[in-house]
Each structure stands twice: as C-alpha cells, then as structure tokens.
Amino acid sequence: MSLLHKLEWRYATKKFDPTKEVPEEQVTELLKAMNLSASSYGLQPYKFIVVKDKNLQEQLVDASYGQEKIANASHVIVIAAKTSVGEDDIRAYINQTAFLRKQQIEELEDQKSRIMSSVSSWSEEKKFSWAQEQCYIVLGTLLLAAADAKIDACPMGGFEPEKYNHMLGLKEHGLHATVIAAIGYRSIDDDYQHAIKSRRDLDDIVELRYS
C-alpha cells in the first residue's frame, strides 16, 4: 500500500472494538518510530506515557469530555511536553550523542554552546510552546506509523490537560499532557470509516513560487 493509500486508509477513529488489543511488539514499534521523530536541536523535549489500564482509562474518560473511545481503545498514548527545557536537558543530549557516536564530549562543545545560547535566550513561555510544537511532530509521525502497521488511531486535543497531568502525576516531573492518541482497531459500527475524507483542494492549499 502506498503512503498516500495509508493516509487515505487512516481516519480519526471514533469507536474502537473493545475486544481487540494491539500486540505489545507493535506498540513498541510505534514508540520506536515516535522516538525517531525529528525535533528541534534533537532535544526531544517530551515523554510518551502509554496507558493500558481499563480503570485508569475510565477515569481519563472524565477528563476527556466523556469520550468513551479513551476507554474502548486498546492503548492511550499521551505525548507530554517538558514544561521547562534547561541546561540539564542539553547536557543529557550532548552526553547521549557523544556516547552513541563514540566521541569525546569536548568535540561537541561548540554544538552545546550554540544550543545553550539559543535556549537560554527564550522566555519560559517560549520554551514551553516550543516543546509542545515538537510533540505535534511526534503526533504526525505516530499517525503515519500506526497506519503503516494497520493500527487505527484517534488523535485528540479534546481533553483537560490539567486533569491528565494530575491523574498521571506529570506536573511533578516537569511534564504537561499536550496531545494524545487513542490506538486500537476500528469497530465495525464506526460509520466514520466509510466517510469520504474532507480535505481542501490541492490548488487551494498550495501556492507555487517558481521562477
């Protein structure tokens, strides 16, 4: 199936089949894909919380304006942004890079200084919105990775982040629930799977500036 077909196949699943579970090996593949997502300066200012616990999922329904798909989904993946990226994160990134590339930390000193000087010039608000933006790149990666594996997903912004932060104990770890994806397999009763995808015409959404 071509990439365009995969994108056509996927849709924001409204109703999952509660009897079907995504195998753990496949969940791991999705998480690996998310971990390979691009991020600004490579800093990956986020964490992925995977919920597979019917009691907790039921509680999260209340924090998601009553949307039952959170309970019916096989797993719920919460992409949580770091609320304040700082020196420790940059140092951890540089250390990890040096380790993986078998380099001396000193060889990465310029890169480290460059990132430090950018990030330290940002307001706390800017750091937070920047971290949240990176979470949305991950979401784009996840949706395609799920479609590639024929796993259904519903990306969701309709939830109360503060309640999620509380229920999942995120705030005390400097994290904020930014966006979530429920994953599983579409119920045969979900009529939305038959709906024609609504998108803008290509020549409305694209503008070419060619010489």
Q: List interacting residues with a second copy (CB under 8 A).
A: 3-4, 7-8, 10, 12, 28-29, 31-33, 35-38, 40, 42, 44, 46-56, 93, 96-97, 100-101, 129, 132-141, 143-145, 148-149, 155, 157, 168, 179, 195-200, 202, 205-211
Tell me the closest approach of the beta carbon of residue 121 to a second copy, in angstroms.
13
Among 80, 93, 89, CA closest to 170: 80
- Alpha-carbon distances, residue 133 vs 1, 27, 31, 115, 119 (angstroms): 30, 23, 18, 17, 15
Q: Which is nearer to a second copy, 38 or 84 (CB)?
A: 38
Q: Which is nearer to a second copy, 188 or 209 (CB)?
A: 209
Tell me the closest approach of the beta carbon of residue 25 to a second copy, in angstroms.
12
- Alpha-carbon distances, residue 21 vs 75, 81, 172 (angstroms): 8, 27, 31
Residues 167, 54, 164: CA angle, nearest 5 degrees: 20
Tell me the closest approach of the beta carbon of residue 6 to a second copy, in angstroms.
9
Tell me the closest approach of the beta carbon of residue 127 to a second copy, in angstroms.
13
Among 95, 104, 53, 46, CA closest to 74: 53
